[in-house]
Amino acid sequence: MRKIDEILGDISINQKIKSIAIAAGLLALTFSTVITIVGLNNNMRYRKSMDNFFRQFSLMRDISENYNKIRAMTTEYLLFWGDKPITDGLSEQFDACFVILEADIVELEGMLPPLSPQNEAINKVYGYLYHLQNFRFTLPSLQPEETESFFIKLQKEIIGPLDNNITVAFNAMVKNIDQESKINQKRYSESVTSSYIAIAVFFILGIVYVSMIVRNIRVPLSQLINSTEYFGRGDYGVFNSVNRKDELGILNNKFVSAAQEIKKVQTELAIYAKSLQELNTTLEMLSTTDQITGISNRRALDEFLGRAWDECKRLHIPITIMYMDIDRFKYFNDTYGHLKGDECLRSFVRCVRRYIKRTVDIFARYGGEEFVAVLPTTPGEAALALAEEIRCAVQDMKIPNPKSEAGPYVTVSIGLAARYPYQIDSAQALMELADQMCYNSKSTGRNRITLDAGPPYDAESESLSLANIRTSAQAGSGSR
């Protein structure tokens, strides 16, 4: 079957449709031809048989009529025995009738089977008629008183058997006709059955051929339709090339080429998209990371501070900003150069990060030698203790900075601003307050910490502040 499909796959669809039409035409022509031939053959055989029987029947009828005439002439001949003019005339009629009767018997014998009962009966009729023809030659030797006994003897020995054999011949002919009719009917049924079998075989072969053609078209067409549905959904991996040279094969292979090309482009686009995503990630990281120290920059700090402020405001918890400035860092750069300055900044960052390591906090470079840490959920007292640890740790690094009036080593001045969000206007205001506290630390001698913890937490004041915020929001929306 697969080999047949491969062969049919090389034929175009138009040729397949034409072959189906030709097959249907040949099937119809075969059907009509077989029916016509069978019908004509049976009709000719039946007509020939019936003509034969009709001729036999006509001959038997003529034999019977002529026999009845001869029988009547025989009786009349005996009645007028002695009247020469009458008997001579009867003899002439008898001979003429016998000639016709003999010709009919000879023709009938030629039409009958040699050993049939009808043929035997006709032979006997012919023999008795021959004896009947010769009875006239026996009459001259008879006495008048012997005529009656001769007639009785003639009736018994010739005319009676003639009647019986003619009846037997008629009956045999009728029986033969009936048998022959049954034989013809059987032959007709057999021939019709044979013709129907032949037609069925041709019909089945035609259906098989058409089915193969339809299957050769339908199966790949269904596969192509399913593949196009996958194609429409963006699944390009279900197409397979086929070794067909018809339109379906060409179309399928076109789809395969298109799918492979699209899949190739998709693969390239996926590679480009991945590279672009990695590049965007890198750019985003670069945009939020300080290049010298590797910690968050001011942009990342501003974004984090906004989110942390809103969260602390929602949860009614404190937030502290730690503002750090390395003392006399410009002197350090002037003394040791900018490369050493960058190394100093990185050492400072490593030191501070040992203390600011919670995931909810952020430590960022604010600019130059200024650094900021945002500490949500941290009140002022806890932030002050943490800042003291950081100040001491930085001083203990003992990085030389001889021109600083705060001491021979690198030190840091820290400003702390701690508030509940309801106690101050905004996160930016809190940042400015922390900057001011850092400035106070530097102006009072450096290497020290200044804390502005604000007023103590008051739940009633927080409620009034929230009510005022809501009132202001409603008024603003009403004016709009």
What is the DSSP secondary-structure string of 385-410?
Answer: HHHHHHHHHHHHT--B-TT-TT-SB-
Q: What is the DSSP letter of 371?
A: E
Helix (H, G, I), strand (E, B) or coil at 12: coil
Interacting residues of 271 by C-beta distance below 8 A, sequence separation 6+? none
Alpha carbon separation from 375 to 225, 347, 423 (Å, rounded): 63, 22, 17
Helix (H, G, I), strand (E, B) or coil at 57: helix
Neighbours of 476 (CB within 10 A): 9
Residues 267-295 as b/e (b if ≥16 CB within 10 A, e otherwise) read: eeeeeeeeeeeeeeeeeeeeebbbeebeb
Residue 169: which of 57, 67, 51 has the closest Cα?
Answer: 57
What is the DSSP secondary-structure string of 310-334?
Answer: HHHHHHT--EEEEEEEETTHHHHHH
One-letter amino acid identity for 285? M
Q: Hey, what are 115's tokens?
A: 């050993």
Q: How far apart are CA 160 and CA 124, in angstroms?
A: 12
Neighbours of 71 (CB within 10 A): 16
Neighbours of 147 (CB within 10 A): 15
Measured torsion, CA atoms of residues 250, 252, 254, 257, in degrees rounded to the nearest 10: -130
Pairing, β 319-326 against β 412-419 = antiparallel
Q: How far apart are CA 148 and CA 152, in angstroms?
A: 6
Going across the sheet that includes 412-419, the strands are 362-367, 370-376, 319-326, 412-419, 449-452
136 in Cβ contact with 90 (< 8 Å):
no
Exactly one of 120, 369, 370, 381 is catalytic; which is it? Answer: 369
Q: Hey, what are 28's tokens?
A: 């119809």
366 in Cβ contact with 412 (< 8 Å):
no
What is the DSSP secondary-structure string of 261-272?
Answer: HHHHHHHHHHHH
Q: How far apart are CA 404 and CA 335, in angstroms?
A: 11
Has 369 been annotated as catalytic? yes
Q: Give the catalytic positions in this structure.
A: 369
